[in-house]
Structure 1
Amino acid sequence: MNVRLKRAKELMGYAVRLTKDEGLPTMVKRGAGFVRRRFFGKRARYLPGKKVLEAQAAEMAGKTAENCGLPTISILTPLYNTPENYLREFLSSFVNQTAPNGQLCLADASDDAHPEVERVVREYRRKNQRIVYKKVENKGIAANTNAAETLATGEYLALADHDDVLAPHAMYAMGKAVLQLREKGEPDSFLYSDEALFTKDIKKPMVGHFKPDYAPDYLLCCNYICHLAVFKRALYEQLGGERPECDGSQDHDLFLRLIEQTGGAAHLPQVLYYWRVHAGSTSGGTDAKPYVAAAAKKALTDHLSRTGRTGTVEDGLFPSTYRVKWDIEGDPKVSILIPNKDHTDDLEKCLYSIWSKTEWDNFEVIVIENNSTDPATFAYYKDAEKRYEGLKVVTWPEKGFNFSAINNFGRKAAQGEYLLLLNNDVEVRNGDWLTELLRQCAHPGGAAICGAMLYYPDETLQHAGVVTGLGGYAGHSHKYKKAGGSGYLFRAATVQDFSAVTGACLLVRASVWDEVKGLDEKFAVAFNDVDFCLRVRDKGYRIVWTPYAQLTHYESKSRGGDEKDPVKAARFAAEQQRLYDVHGKADILEDPYYNPSLTRDREDFSESGDLRNLKEGKVTVRWRNA
């Protein structure tokens, strides 16, 4: 089926469900947002409305940093031969903040050929005494940032580049976010916001960087936090500030060291920073700064050393991304559980690919026979058990199809420290697929669950993690995208934290499986994997996905489609409702690893048509730990 037609059918199905669940007015409103986003202008789409900014300014009118009720945030900015027009835009963005709780600390390392930098700063200082300045010797960006910090008096610090622009509500929103964390009794030492790229005018942004809540595995692959990051000055000083030996990736290094102390971070999904794209900027690509990769790998290697974990840091699949090849602890055995009903051609392809390609040799395969009717199937089992050492077939004693019950039964025969749920219609592509899944789990501090990259036979993505809330319930990240791409913010090409992964290929620690009592058998066909992962996540464990374990999935060849069978369709609808009943609709719709400014209508990480949270300047900060 044509990809566009697939998406159109899925969107229509979602519209029907939304109408049933929330009524026609809600569906029409969402549809209007979709049309507006697709076909009309996007000017200033990430900025709060004029009335919102005016209300913030009115709330703070006549107040100072000392009596405005918000914590003071000192912004650290090294200057170096800054073009005058860029510098003026940056300084103006600070001067025109809606709240007075900011302090701008400038360390100017410009050479003698650029006296205009100091002249422009002194001009702005006459307008705003919250700008502090000193000339420094140029010792590199980390040392210059540390020099700016010596001017700071705020309880918090933030980092900003000299050629970028602050959103007008950056200090107000971050100040309110800190207070909100304190009110909730949550840690307030480290926060970050979303950001956007622009070339000339922040009212005409190129694209938004809409980030997940704190995602530790993602942070090891790239510095997704970037701007605007805010953290306690006392913590920065305790850590000794930024490290000159990591120049080029000094912020990534700092964030890793901060996380080691805080155990997590708070995310404010507001666009508070505009990153200028021009020749020579990091936002324009790391080709402009080739030393960045070496610095990033040092930062990551040092982080592993400090946290007592072992692995090798390598370049990732794309520039500015990285990969940690974790050392696997011990020699864990993996029990691969494969439900099967007839379809021995599919099963043979699956088994042959496992035995012929898998480099990790400590595994067993348990085929769970499920009501096969073809006598040839049972003859095949006997032959396969002779050909494949470590294969055994167990027979599920019940009738009908219940994916959860079948796998729960298979688990009883499993002897491994890890269980791998695997569909019979998948085929292994790379030899270290199972090793890679284990790498993510079988080390100190590893994840409890890991999912794999699954491709359709036509070389498009079938699964790159599961996002809850897509289509109202759950969907696959980057589904139907062509193989080989990086995805949104490298999220289809780096190890990722997710709320769930598909049960078509899911590795889980056996102890965790037992702790949550396996799959919920009331989810007979749909959402059993999502429910299972959410229960594991809610126990405090991590769920990750890796692009380095790759398989081809001949999806639904065994069972066929459900949408044309009224009985199956009714069962599917009941399981949808059960997902809401068990986990709560809000929990399903608000996936912490998916940004509220991204659409729920498709699986391509495109921008939502409903950006009211941004237009209203809504402060809803969300803290997560590791």
Structure 2
Amino acid sequence: MKKSEKKVIKINWGQIIKRISPYNVKKGILYLRHYGMKEFWVKLTERFQADDVDYKEWYENHRVLEKDLEEQKNVHFFKEPLISIIVPIYNTPITFLRQMIDSVQQQSYAKWELCIGNASPEKQEIRQVLEEYKSDKRIKEIAIPENKGIAENTNKAMTISEGEFIGLLDHDDLLAPNALYEVVKALNENNLAEVVYTDEDKVTADLEEHFRPHFKPDFNLDLLRSNNYICHFFVASRDLIKRVGGFRPEFNGAQDYDLILRCTEQAKQIVHIPKILYHWRVHKASTADNPASKMYAFDAGKRAIEEHLVRCRTKGTVQHTKDLGFYRVKYEVCGEPLVSIIIPNKDQSEALKKCLDSIREKTSYRNYEIIIVENNSEEPETFAFYKKIAGEKIKIVTWEGEFNYSAINNFGVRHARGDYLLLLNNDVEIINGDWLTEMLSHCQRKEVGIVGAKLYYPDNTIQHAGIIIGIGGIAGSVFVGLPRAFSGYLHKASIQLDLSAVTAACMLVKRSVFEQVGGLEEKLKVAFNDVDFCLRVREKGYLVVYDPYAELYHYESKTRGAEDTKEKIRRFQTEIEYMRSHWIGLLKKGDPYYNCNLSLTKWDYSLKNNQRS
């Protein structure tokens, strides 16, 4: 887009005027102090955008400019590895073949070779096209007399490659002209990188329209076990691919998925580039456009995950979901460890009764205890209810201080006997009987510290499907208010994945991990204590898993009430400042389980409406 054609950002000034208040002014000043004028203006314009972002416009505004490509051609890196682009071809349409080759030749990084495994050597028109490009010595071809399938054809093409790194390109797809430049830049910035992957989009067969962008997180183990989200553009070191044994023909249809799983298991470092650098062409014969056309591919993906679990010495079974290409892993629970369910409570005996009844009547996992932490109840009915329910399974302990969610839960933990601690609000209701089994099966995994559930409002809209750092300023839940059946951006509301944080309204944590990080931060009395806790657990190297198969209703903080007094607003501002002060690096860099191209003012994975910097 030319400078003179730059899109004018439409701001809803009426909306801004409505939101001007002393509190918002103070909040804006603090944001400006932390992030500077440029980020403040970006935040302001994004927050008050009048319209949603159209990807077609976004793509045109963000695609690399010719002047940038020219500058990239003159950049000299400390490490300039030869990158071998491997492409198996078979009955490839001539137009697609030319466009694929052209996209490689147009790379601003010149140290590449294109290794084509031609499984259609008898096709004269394909031979003619390849002959036309032979003047470029970087383009190589090996004839494959008999089509052996993608896996073996790709392995054959790799035999003529010499690059230190291998990049995988399908015969009808395209690389963005700066793709290899960005990969080599990433390799120079990350010395141990053995795997690099990028964001991607889809493009129509005639190349007229780019659509359905896939903005990916940094490496996400549980998301990868749910779906081959890495997919394209995938680059790995030759040594790593050799170590894991290359492509395996028994996984044809999901050969990339199988290879990616094996490579990520052993890679020293995995780097994600959050830029659209690969264009996946969609046409009538493409799996990208018609998933049901290749069921064998999804079955191969299922087997790839199953073998991955075996290699990782993790017991679990893999199931297809209703969305083909997306999977559910059911892990085994080892033994019957005691789970301590800790529920803070102030009055609201009816809500508490509903919560306890649902646990008792619906929970299939039986080895649990319940610790109710009484905090300043006033209603006689509440104490009468306590006397009625107290017993072997339920213990009532009293916290006599002011309301402090962190301190109350830390106090409850000191009275708990279990090796696993479930922090649970008193205003939730269990939906599915295997909810605790499901959460425990994840939490027992050695790499996992915390597991969160999927919560709904009573009207069957989503209340919690994970938390993203930066949304709303500090952190916020995604997909809030969307229908229960809504599966979210690339089904992220409905599949297992790792996140930076989940809500403590229903959070399972290893006791050893809880104690390792010192429990919840008691300076955070009400807000963000769960987010801060999750981030500290992440700092210790543990995963925080969101599991949508543990489902509960959440009646949304009935006990605590609204943030509607000067004192509460002041306290909330203090908690915001605590989070900014302690996590400013992460807030500036961005949530690694999100993507810098996505909005922080919306919660549905909408595009961020920013202009080219």
User: Are residues 359 and 43 of structure 1, via their aligned partners in 2, closer, same or farther at CA, if it must alter by over 3 Å?
Assistant: closer
8 Å Cα contact 1:280/1:289 also seen in 2: no
Distance (whole Å) between structure 1 residues aligned to residue 582 and residue 290 of structure 2: 44
Aligned counterpart in structure 2 of residue 132 of structure 1, from 134, 140, 162: 140
Distance 2:295 2:557 in 1: 45
Offset of residue 215 of structure 1: 0.5
The code of the aligned residue for 1:566 comes to K
**For residue 86 of structure 2, what is the aligned residue in structure 1?**
76
Q: 1:256 aligns with which of 252, 255, 261?
A: 261
Q: Tell me which amino acid in the other structure corresponds to 1:459.
A: N
Percent identity between the aligned chains?
A: 44
Counterpart in 2 of 1:5? none
The answer on 1:392 being equivalent to 2:395 is yes
Q: State the AA in 1 paired with 2:142.
A: K
Selected match of 1:49 from 65, 81, 93: 65
Instruction: Measure, in 1, the Cα distance between the counterparts of 2:527 and 2:437.
Output: 28
**Equivalent of 1:346 in 343, 347, 351:** 351
Quote the offset at 1:589 in angstroms: 5.5
Q: How does 1:112-511 map to 2 (within 5 A)?
A: 112=122, 114-126=123-135, 128-136=136-144, 137-182=146-191, 187-200=192-205, 204-262=209-267, 264-385=269-390, 390-398=393-401, 400-443=402-445, 445-511=446-512
1:4-56, CA deviations, whole angstroms, 9 ceiling, x for partnerless residues? xxxx89x9599763455217875544444545863793352341233212211
State the superposition RMSD in angstroms. 2.2
Q: Give the match for residue 92 of structure 1.
A: 102
What secondary structure is seen at the aligned counterpart in 1 of 2:459? coil
- C-alpha contact (below 8 Å) 2:447/2:542 kept by paired residues: no
Whole-Å separation in 1 of the counterparts to 2:586 and 2:225: 29
Equivalent residue for 1:608? 608
Query: What displacement does 1:302 show?
Result: 1.0
Asked if the contact 1:43/1:203 (under 8 Å) is kept, the reply is no
Equivalent residue pairs, number? 588
Structure 1 residues 202, 29: closer, same or farther in 2, change over 3 A?
farther
SS in 2 for 1:435: helix
Equivalent residues of 2:31, 2:40 under 8 A apart: no
Partners of 2:126 and 2:486 in 1: CA distance: 41
Structure 2 residue aligned with 1:578: 578
Deviations 1:200-247 (A, max 9, x none): 466742132110000111111110001111111122122221000011
Runs (5+) with no aligned partner, structure 2: 1-14
Once the two structures are TM-superposed, the CA of residue 305 in structure 1 deviates from its matched residue by: 1.4
Letter in 2 for 1:516: V
Deviation, structure 1 residue 90: 0.8
Distance 1:79 1:483, change over 3 A: same
How many Å apart are 1:285 and its aligned residue?
A: 4.2
Distance, in Å, in 2 between the alignment partners of 1:68 and 1:372 is: 66
> Could you tell me how far apart the structure 2 residues matched to 1:462 and 1:44 are?
35
1:466–1:474 contact (8 Å) kept in structure 2? yes
Distance 1:498 1:29, change over 3 A: closer
Matched position secondary structure for 2:60: coil
SS at match of 1:41: helix
Q: Per-residue deviation at 1:486?
A: 2.2
**Residues in 1 aligned to 2:365 and 2:293: alpha-carbon distance in whole angstroms:** 40
Identify which range, 276-285 or 79-88, moves more after superposition.
Answer: 276-285
Answer whether contact 1:451 1:546 (CA < 8 A) is retained. Answer: yes
CA contact (8 A) 2:193 2:269 kept: no
Cα contact 1:317–1:493 (8 A) shared by 2: no
**CA contact under 8 A between 2:422 and 2:509: conserved in structure 1?**
yes
Shift of 1:115: 2.5
Distance 2:74 2:207 in 1: 23
How many angstroms does 1:401 deviate by? 0.8
The structural deviation recorded for 1:611 is 5.7
**Contact residue 340 and residue 368 of structure 1 kept, 8 A:** yes
8 Å contact kept, 2:53–2:606: no
1:191 Cα deviation from its structure 2 partner: 1.0
Q: Distance in 2 between matches of 1:464 and 1:328?
A: 23
- Offset at residue 311 of structure 1 (A): 1.1
Cα distance in 1 for partners of 2:478, 2:118 equals 44
C-alpha spacing 1:440/1:45, structure 2 compared with 1 (3 Å): farther
Single out whichever of 602-611 and 345-354 deviates more from structure 2.
Answer: 602-611
Counterparts of 2:448 and 2:262, CA distance in 1: 20
Are the aligned partners of 2:174 and 2:279 in contact in 1 as well (CA < 8 Å)?
yes
**Is the CA contact (8 Å cut-off) linking 1:190 and 1:230 kept in structure 2?**
yes
**1:462-488 deviations in Å (ceiling 9; x for gaps):** 111111111110010222221122211
Alignment CA distance shift 1:41-1:221 (3 Å): closer
SS at match of 1:289: helix
Q: 1:412-469: per-residue Cα shift (whole Å, max 9, x none)?
A: 11001100000000000000000000111113x3411000000111111111111111
> Which residue identity is paired with 2:437?
T
Aligned partners of 1:440 and 1:332: how far apart in 2? 13
**How far did 1:502 drift?**
0.3
Contact 1:472-1:589 at 8 Å conserved across structures: no
State the alpha-carbon separation in 2 of the partners of residues 83 and 228 from structure 1: 21
Q: Which SS does the other structure have where 1:558 is aligned?
A: coil
Q: Is the 8 A contact 1:19 1:27 kept in 2?
A: no
- Equivalent position of 1:3 in the other structure: none
How far is 1:294 from its partner?
A: 1.1
The 1-side partners of 2:463 and 2:447 are apart by 25
Secondary structure in 2 matching 1:194: strand
Normalized against structure 1, the TM-score is what? 0.90
CA contact (8 A) 2:79 2:188 kept: no
Shift of residue 585 of structure 1?
4.7
TM-score, structure 2 length as denominator? 0.92
- Structure 2 SS opposite 1:75: strand
Kindly indicate whether the alpha-carbon contact (under 8 Å) linking 1:449 and 1:542 is maintained by their aligned counterparts in 2. Answer: yes
Please tell me the residue identity of whatever aligns with 1:291. Answer: Y
Q: Distance in 1 between matches of 2:61 and 2:296?
A: 35
Quick one: structure 1 residues 446 and 69, their matched pair in 2 at CA, closer, same or farther if it must change by over 3 Å?
closer
> Contact between 2:474 and 2:587, CA under 8 Å: does it hold in 1?
no
SS at match of 1:584: helix
The alignment partner of 1:245 has SS state of helix
Aligned partners of 2:364 and 2:434 also within 8 Å: yes
1:68, 1:101 within 8 Å by CA — same for their partners in 2?
no
Q: Do the aligned residues in 1 keep the contact of 2:469 with 2:475 (CA within 8 Å)?
A: yes
1:317–1:465 distance in 2 versus 1, CA, 3 Å = farther
In the alignment, the residues of structure 1 paired with residue 162 and residue 357 of structure 2 have an alpha-carbon distance, to the nearest angstrom, of: 65
Helix, strand or coil for the counterpart of 1:324?
Answer: strand
Q: CA deviation at 1:331?
A: 1.2
Within 2, Cα distance between the matches of 1:91 and 1:585?
41
| Structure 1 residues 43 and 303: alpha-carbon distance in aligned structure 2, compared to 1, 3 A threshold | closer
Distance 1:250 1:45 in 2: 34
Q: Which amino acid aligns with 1:116?
A: E
